[in-house]
Amino acid sequence: MTPAAALRSPSSAKPRKSLKSPSCADCFFRCNLLCALEEDTPCATFRPNHPDGLRPPQQLRFTFRNERRTRAAWAFPTADEQAALHA
């Protein structure tokens, strides 16, 4: 067994299911008779038809991080520190 093969998990060895390619028959605009194109191939405005209607694509959630740094990465030395350096 090669080192790269040993690092792979068993689930990554399984082939992925192929997703159904989009078609005009699955487009929201075609199903609701809103498409003005004569083409039978999906266009740039393809949106999947869904019972809830036209929905925007799901976006990632925005999460706030806890503040990690309490001080600046750099700081000028205080007057006492400067005096100690030059004394």
pLDDT value of residue 8 = 53
Q: Place 87 in a pLDDT band, splitting at 50, 70 and 90.
A: confident
| CB-based contacts of 23, cutoff 8 Å, min separation 6 | 40, 42
- Predicted TM-score (pTM) of this structure: 0.44
pLDDT value of residue 18 = 59
CA distance 24 to 42: 5
For residue range 35-69, what is the model confidence (pLDDT) as tens digits? 888 887 888 888 888 888 887 777 888 887 776 66
- Rounded average pLDDT over 78-82: 90
Query: Dihedral of CA 49/52/53/59: which sign?
Result: negative
pLDDT value of residue 84 = 93
- Domain range list for the chain: 21-53
